[in-house]
A and B are shown apart, each in its own frame.
Chain A
Amino acid sequence: MRLKPEALFSLAIIGAAAWALLATLDWPIKTALYPRVIGVPLLLLAVVEFVLSVKGVPAETGQQTMDFALSVDVEPRVAVQRTITIFVWIGGFFLAIVLLGFAVSIPLFVFAYLKGQAKERWLLTLVLVGLAWFIFDALFVDLLHLPFSQGLLFRLLR
């Protein structure tokens, strides 16, 4: 039987809750009480949710959540592809920051996204890269003195 992704999500929560409860076993009561009191209903509710999503309770009653819904007017195949693409960009930005540091990654990312993904014109791209750099350098570095650590690569090379 193949599980729906929705059921997998609640399965992941079940796993996390079970692990979290097990972790409390070695703790003194003052530390463990709160996570246990919360963890038990968390686990039970996750199991109920898992069962309900496997059984496939009708969508109408499950659908009404007070939160925004992802857009549906894009063709599903395109939507999946675009979702993966943006997550790759986000992950790439993070990796770049870890490896190269903020100072290099910011102009690099803005440039790569505008030129590589959005296919913007050169002039606009360069102006926006300049703007991004300015926001970073003037505000966060010069004015606020935030410590931005060097990228991992530079530290390894040193």
Chain B
Amino acid sequence: MRRVTAFLLAGLLLILLTPAYAQQPTFAGKTVTIIVGYAPGGGYDRMARMVAKYLPKYLAGNPTVIVQNLPGANSIIAANNVYNVAKPDGLTIGAFNRNLVLGQLVKVEGMRFDMTKFAWIGSTSNETTVLAIRSDLPYRTVADLVKADPALFIGATGPGANTYDFPLLLRAFLKLNLKIISGYPSSSDIMLAIERKELDGRAGSYSSIKPFIDRGLVRPIMRARASVPAIARLPVDEDLAPSETARAVMALRSVPEVIGRPFVAPPGTPPELVRAIREAFDKVTKDREFLAEAAAAGFDIEFVNGDEALKITLGVLTAPPDVVRIFQQFFKFE
């Protein structure tokens, strides 16, 4: 009871002292729904559930926050739904595939949304791609991989995934001697194939490869643009690009990873609501308990604000046509 009174008093003080917050919207008694574009269990879902757990603390009125899953077509179905069906009342938040913007760039059929028109909340963490090879191989640098003989067998799931696209560009532009073996059902099947020496290495998100680097099975050789402190010193693919075009094509693939766990609201969500949610996200990502839990789950949290995320998205969609044309030869949204 005392806590409630204190809370109310604090709220009153806030209103009296800061006129700017006078219209601070309240979510009291309401339910905020985070719609995830994947089935329960994956990275996007786990991030959304963690955010949902801490979000009520930081939204005015302490609403209930629930997670709903709308899987299918790599979260296009969920994005279509949030864009066209959900009401812009601040009670719906979408958590989608970071590569939707690339899908929009190469004009995938069935996308009924414009990534730049969503009300962007931001991204809670980046998701960087690394290339890692078996530790018992003699190669240590990018130059070694160019000279490697015979070619290294690199496992991949398929086009559209970073396990495939990243080594594909490395082979095409940096002339790394790689042979991509594609079709593995999941990245963990690739890991097992590396363990039994069917494969020599793989590309993939750093967070999923990290346990195997720590265990000494594989060693990271290079990374893409997005980064976390532990691998900041690895060479970056774009820096080694032989031409401006190659660099731009690699950048297109990498940039969405900077906003690796994007959260958006339906277009037309009132700005004051978007601001309130953004602030809540910002506070959640600084909450000590949240950070501890995220670390345990293997996420490196780094909040990118909605404005910044939107700018990055616009940047991707305004890439020069000749770059997009080359990019399209390598990339398939799947």
A residues sitting closer than 8 Å to B (CB atoms) are 145-147, 149, 155
B156 sits at the interface (CB 8 A): no
Q: Mark B53-76, 1 if CB is under 8 A from A, else 0.
A: 000000000000011111000000
With most chain B CB atoms within 10 A of its CB, the pick from A145, A146, A149, A155 is A145
Contacts of A147 in B (CB 8 A): 35, 68-70
Q: Are B67 and A145 in contact (CB-based, < 8 A)?
A: yes
Cβ–Cβ < 8 Å partners of B70 in chain A: 147
Q: How far is the CA of A155 from the CA of B87 in the complex (A)?
A: 12
Residue of A nearest to B68 (CB): A147
Q: How many A-B Cβ pairs are below 8 Å?
A: 11
Cα A146 to Cα B66 with chains together (Å): 10
What's the least CB distance linking A98 to chain B, in Å? 15
- 8 A-B pairs with C-beta separation under 8 A: A145-B33, A145-B66, A145-B67, A145-B68, A146-B68, A147-B35, A147-B69, A149-B85
Interface size range on B against A: under 10
A147→B78 CA distance, assembly (Å): 11
Taking CB as reference atom, which chain A residue is nearest B70?
Answer: A147
Q: Which residues of B contact A155 (CB under 8 A)?
A: 85
Tell me, rounded to whole Å, the shortest Cβ–Cβ distance linking B52 to chain A.
10
Residues of B that sit less than 8 Å from A by CB: 33, 35, 66-70, 85
Specify which chain B residues have a CB less than 8 angstroms from the CB of A149 in the assembled complex.
85
Q: Which residue of chain B has its CB nearest to the CB of A146?
A: B68
Residue in chain B with minimal CB distance to A155: B85
Q: Which residue of A lies closest to B40 (CB)?
A: A144
Docked complex Cα distance between A56 and B33 (Å): 60
Smallest CB separation, A145 vs chain B (Å): 5
Interface hub of A146, A147, A149, A155 (most chain B Cβ within 10 A): A147
Tell me the bound Cα distance from A146 to B35 in angstroms: 10
- Determine the chain A residues whose CB is within 8 A of the CB of B35 once the complex forms: 147
Chain A min CB distance to B53 (Å)? 14
| Chain B residue nearest in CB terms to A145 | B66
4 closest A-B pairs (Cβ-Cβ)? A147-B68, A145-B66, A145-B68, A147-B70
Cβ contacts under 8 Å, B69 to chain A: 147
**Minimum C-beta distance from A156 to chain B (A):** 13
Q: Whose C-beta in chain B lies nearest to the C-beta of A147?
A: B68
In the bound complex, how far is the Cα of B70 from the Cα of A149, in angstroms?
Answer: 11
Closest to B66 in A: A145
Q: Which residue of A lies closest to B78 (CB)?
A: A147
Q: How far is the CA of A118 from the CA of B70 in the complex (A)?
A: 36
- Smallest CB–CB gap between A72 and chain B, Å? 42
State A147–B33 Cα separation when bound (angstroms): 10
A74 CB to nearest chain B CB (Å): 41
Q: What's the least CB distance linking B84 to chain A, in Å? A: 10
> Which residues of the other chain, A, contact B66 by a CB distance below 8 angstroms?
145
* Bound Cα distance from A149 to B85, whole angstroms: 10
Smallest Cβ distance from B62 to chain A, in angstroms? Answer: 18
Nearest CB on B from A57, distance (A): 41
Considering the complex, give the chain B residue whose CB is closest to the CB of A150: B85
Contacts of A145 in B (CB 8 A): 33, 66-68
Within the complex, what minimum Cβ distance (angstroms) separates B82 from chain A? Answer: 11
Whole-angstrom distance between the Cβ of A108 and the nearest chain B Cβ: 23
Closest-by-CB residue of A relative to B35 is: A147
Min CB gap A102→B, angstroms: 14
Write the nearest CB–CB distance from A29 to chain B, whole angstroms.
Answer: 14
Complex: how many Å from CA A154 to CA B69? Answer: 22
- Report the separation of the CA atoms of residues A149 and B81 in the bound assembly, to the nearest whole angstrom: 10
Q: When chains A and B are docked, how far (Å) is the Cα of A145 from the Cα of B35?
A: 11
Apart from the given pairs A145-B66, A147-B70, A155-B85, 8 other A-B contacts in the complex at a CB distance below 8 Å: A145-B33, A145-B67, A145-B68, A146-B68, A147-B35, A147-B68, A147-B69, A149-B85
CA distance in complex: A104, B119 (Å): 32
Which residues of A sit under 8 angstroms from B68, Cβ to Cβ? 145-147
For the complex, give the distance between the alpha carbons of A145 and B36 in Å.
12
Bound Cα distance from A145 to B67, whole angstroms: 7
User: CA separation between A145 and B32, bound complex, in Å?
Assistant: 12
Complex Cα–Cα for A13 and B70 (A): 33
In whole Å, how far is A157's beta carbon from the nearest beta carbon of chain B?
14
Q: Which residue of A lies closest to B69 (CB)?
A: A147
- Rounded to whole angstroms, the CA-CA distance of A149 and B33 in the bound complex is 14
CB closest residue in chain A, given B183: A30
- Shortest C-beta distance, B285 to chain A (Å), equals 23
